[in-house]
Structure 1
Amino acid sequence: MAYPPDQGLYTGVLRLVLVLVGVSLVGFTIGPSMLRRLTGNSTAQVSCPSCVCDCSSEDFLSIPLGILNSSFPDCGKSDPDMNEEMGKDFVALLSEELSLQKAVANDSMQHTKALISDARKAFSHYQKEAEKCSTVVETCEEGREKAERELAEELKLSALWEKRAHELGWKVNRRIYS
């Protein structure tokens, strides 16, 4: 079967677009490696500009201390807070870190204890509600059992009276009303 003329045009345009997309993908994946081979530079050597230390800004506090000491040896010498921090020995820093961790652990423990207390209160409340429900269910069950016993007794009495009535000549006279 031949396609209608309009559909053949769309099919041709679609094929052209797919071919262009395929060629573009191949060019983008193979192109950079081919370009490096042609130019002969496998890695580009870029020199890093020298770093400038601006001790007046307070951004140097966000830099780790090891990098700060090795990269900027004169940075922070005039700042008394920085001198105090840098003057602390390793044991003092560790003890400060341990005291901070202890404070965080204590806060976490208090939060956990509060959550446990709330959970116990909720458990107690729901346990009381469950006991109420159980009591009501037991009461209802006892009432149902009592009603069943009374019904069975009433049925026996009715059967006895019906039997006596039949013995005395009573006949069932049921009329169907229409």
Structure 2
Amino acid sequence: MAYQSHHGFRSPIALRLVLFLVGVCLVCYIVGPRLYWHLTGNFAASRASCAQCICDCPLEPIFSMPAELVNYSLADCGKHDPELNEEMEKEIIDLLSEELILLKNVSHDNLLHTKASILEARKTSSQYQKEAEKCNTGVETCEEAREKAEAALIAERKLSELWETRARVQGWKEQRRSYL
């Protein structure tokens, strides 16, 4: 009686089929993008930030390592682009003056933003000051009312004392009951 493992493949044909499928997937994974770029012509556009060069270059073989991957250079890129040529021909002084103008515009925008922030802070501060003045007025009113109530209480105590003294003179005796 032969021992059969439940953990492995039962036939070497199935193992070979799985290995073949893994190999095909790896080849498609490695060669697929290169083949796609070669057929669509988008390899240079996907690697460079400038527009695709207009030139009559010989086609490379599909399975060779592209020169763009080995040593990518932007020397010929934009050679036929008039806007890029105009930009590259500018003098360093022109470029620096443009940069200064841009910096001036940015600082002007920052200054406007700062002024707007200061104005908003002043409005908020003014609003808080008004609220604080209302609160102080309310506290002063309450303090005056408390002082008047305290003076009225003192006067009422004096009056009560006077009446109690008169009542005692008339013979009144204090009777306090204790409630438990």
* CA offset digits 1:26-50 (Å, max 9, x no partner): xxxxxxxxxxxxxxxxxxxxxxxxx
Match of 1:120 among 117, 122, 137: 122
Match of 1:152 in 2: 154
Letter in 1 for 2:162: L
Match of 2:144 among 142, 145, 150: 142
Cα gap change, 1:61 to 1:94, in 2 (>3 Å) = farther
Q: Give, in whole Å, the separation in 1 of the partners of 2:74 and 2:178.
A: 114
TM-score, normalised to structure 2, is 0.57
User: SS at the partner of 1:173?
Assistant: coil
Match of 2:82 in 1: 80
Q: Give, in whole Å, the separation in 1 of the partners of 2:92 and 2:110.
A: 27
Cα gap change, 1:61 to 1:75, in 2 (>3 Å) = closer
The aligned runs of 1:55-134 (5 Å cut-off) are 57=45, 59-61=48-50, 71-134=73-136
* Shift in Å, 1:77: 2.8
* CA offset digits 1:133-172 (Å, max 9, x no partner): 1001100011001101110111011111111211221111
Q: Give, in whole Å, the separation in 2 of the partners of 1:166 and 1:72.
A: 116
Cα gap change, 1:61 to 1:102, in 2 (>3 Å) = farther
Q: Give, in whole Å, the separation in 2 of the partners of 1:96 and 1:167.
A: 105
Q: Give, in whole Å, the separation in 1 of the partners of 2:49 and 2:146.
A: 82
Letter in 2 for 1:145: E
Contact 2:79 2:85 in 1 (8 A): yes
Structure richer in helix, relative to its length: 1
Match of 2:171 in 1: 169
Q: Give, in whole Å, the separation in 2 of the partners of 1:156 and 1:175.
A: 25
Cα gap change, 1:77 to 1:174, in 2 (>3 Å) = closer
Q: Give, in whole Å, the separation in 1 of the partners of 2:120 and 2:148.
A: 42
- Structure 1: gaps spanning 5 or more residues: 1-53, 63-70
